[in-house]
Structure 1
Amino acid sequence: MESPSPAPEHVRILTVCTGNICRSPVAERLLQAGLDQVLPGGFVVASAGTRAMVGDPMQPPSADIVRTFGGNPQEFAARQLTGKILRGVDLVLTMTSGHRGEVLQLDASLLKRTFTIREFARMLDVLDERDPAPQGPAGDPLAANTAFWRGLPARAAAVRHLSLPADSSENDIIDPYRRGPETYRQMEDELAPAIVSILRHARLNAPS
């Protein structure tokens, strides 16, 4: 009798910022909430910081943003980015180009799977414009979804030249740590559209 095939793995996404208390926790919790609606159990989103305030909860204004968009900010604790955390991750979404460089210093094998979140979102927007009504991957939903997302970084990178910003600073999310409410609003204004684009692409390409 043949042994059963192993259960398909979920898609593993990691968001990265500096302290892991302002930007990347918002991205983590809102992506997780949205992706859970697309395919329950299909994704695990986590976060870490390049110079993390280890053990700290997310900052209250960030928690407020998470609640506003329907996510759960509870039971969060900042953690330091390490090579071990990066192992086996399918997609790394950083808050700035500098963070991307720090990820690649830890694990150069992630070169083709690491993007700033705004850059990645623009690439997905281009893909969606090219094929506004794609047919989602067929077959076992979890396996089909995982295969789709593991191939997505290469498809996104192929349209990078069509999604370049006017200014490279548009790849980055502002750091609001120890700054006023207006800086948190700017962070939200920069981050929320990127998350919306990623979730829209996930919905359009949900397993059929």
Structure 2
Amino acid sequence: MTAPYGRGIGTFRILHVSTGNVCRSPITERLTRHALDQRLGDGARDLLVESAGTWGHEGAQMEAHAATVLSEMGADPAGFTGRELLDEHVIEADLVLTATRDHRAQVISMGHSAGLRTFTLKEFARLVRAIDAATLPPPEEGAVQRASALVRAAAALRGWLLAPSVEADEVGDPYGAPVTYFRAVGEEIRQALDPVVTTLTGVPAPTVR
């Protein structure tokens, strides 16, 4: 099986995009990786998760508060280095999830047929909630095939299922804010990711005891 957009056989690449690639997109990248590993174990190895920034600080560490929030949420912040968004990142991505509509527009403006696979994170979560999981390939057929079908289904719904407001599809920028705001943003991201990861994997979030 060949994954869409030329990614090759047996892999699916998720790219998270924000501005500096030191706050929102690192949090989203590492929470996505943590959730996929938690749900699928070794079965998550074919789902590749990365991030970059439209004004990315190449080689920078993530903000300290972002790392703190990830650790508090059980995800691993270690070893992260920021990247500037390049054409090759968009070309290789099977799904691009951005923090804001402006980021989404910037990714799409780069070309590479990115329009049908680029969403804001909260937009994608909203669309995914409206998709009947029974219409997707069953989990036993593999996460790559199911993820590819999920992106196609979400793209088909766009334009039919509109956000109640512009702000509803965006994640605010915590850069320079206190750690309490980073925690709020981290929780906002986690809540948006949950339906996405649940539908993609077919595995619900573990029950917290």
TM-score above 0.5: yes
- Does 2:107 align with 1:107? no
- Residues 83-128 of structure 1: CA distance to partner in whole angstroms, max 9, x if unpaired? 012222100000000000111122251100000000001111111x
Residue in 1 that maps onto 2:71: 67
Note the residue ranges of structure 1 that are not aligned, 5 or more in a row.
1-6
- Residues 15-62 of structure 1: CA distance to partner in whole angstroms, max 9, x if unpaired? 000000000001101111211232231211000000012211111111
AA of the residue aligned to 2:71? R
Among 45, 62, 83, the alignment partner of 2:87 is 83
The change in CA–CA distance for 1:164 and 1:180 in structure 2 (over 3 A counts) is same
- Residues 129-168 of structure 1: CA distance to partner in whole angstroms, max 9, x if unpaired? x4479771444x3xxx222222222201233356432211
* Helix, strand or coil at the partner of 1:13: strand
TM-score normalised to structure 2 length: 0.84
- Does 2:138 align with 1:136? yes
Q: Distance in 2 between matches of 1:133 and 1:86?
A: 27
- Does 2:175 align with 1:171? no
CA contact (8 A) 1:126 1:162 kept: no
Q: Distance in 1 between matches of 2:87 and 2:18?
A: 15
The change in CA–CA distance for 1:104 and 1:194 in structure 2 (over 3 A counts) is same
CA contact (8 A) 2:15 2:96 kept: yes
Q: Distance in 2 between matches of 1:132 and 1:204?
A: 10
CA contact (8 A) 1:134 1:205 kept: no
Q: Max radius of gyration: which structure? A: 1
The structural deviation recorded for 1:77 is: 0.6
1:142-157 superposed matches below 5 A: 145-157=143-155
Residue in 2 that maps onto 1:94: 98
* Helix, strand or coil at the partner of 2:194: helix
The change in CA–CA distance for 1:19 and 1:68 in structure 2 (over 3 A counts) is same
TM-score normalised to structure 1 length: 0.84
CA contact (8 A) 1:15 1:93 kept: yes
The change in CA–CA distance for 1:65 and 1:181 in structure 2 (over 3 A counts) is closer
Residue in 2 that maps onto 1:126: 130
CA contact (8 A) 1:119 1:163 kept: no
- Residues 156-206 of structure 1: CA distance to partner in whole angstroms, max 9, x if unpaired? 123335643221111110001112234323312321111111111123279
Query: After the TM superposition, which of the residue ranges 163-172 and 180-189 deviates more from structure 2?
Result: 180-189
* Helix, strand or coil at the partner of 1:70: coil
Q: Distance in 2 between matches of 1:135 and 1:123?
A: 17
The change in CA–CA distance for 1:94 and 1:193 in structure 2 (over 3 A counts) is same
The change in CA–CA distance for 1:85 and 1:133 in structure 2 (over 3 A counts) is closer
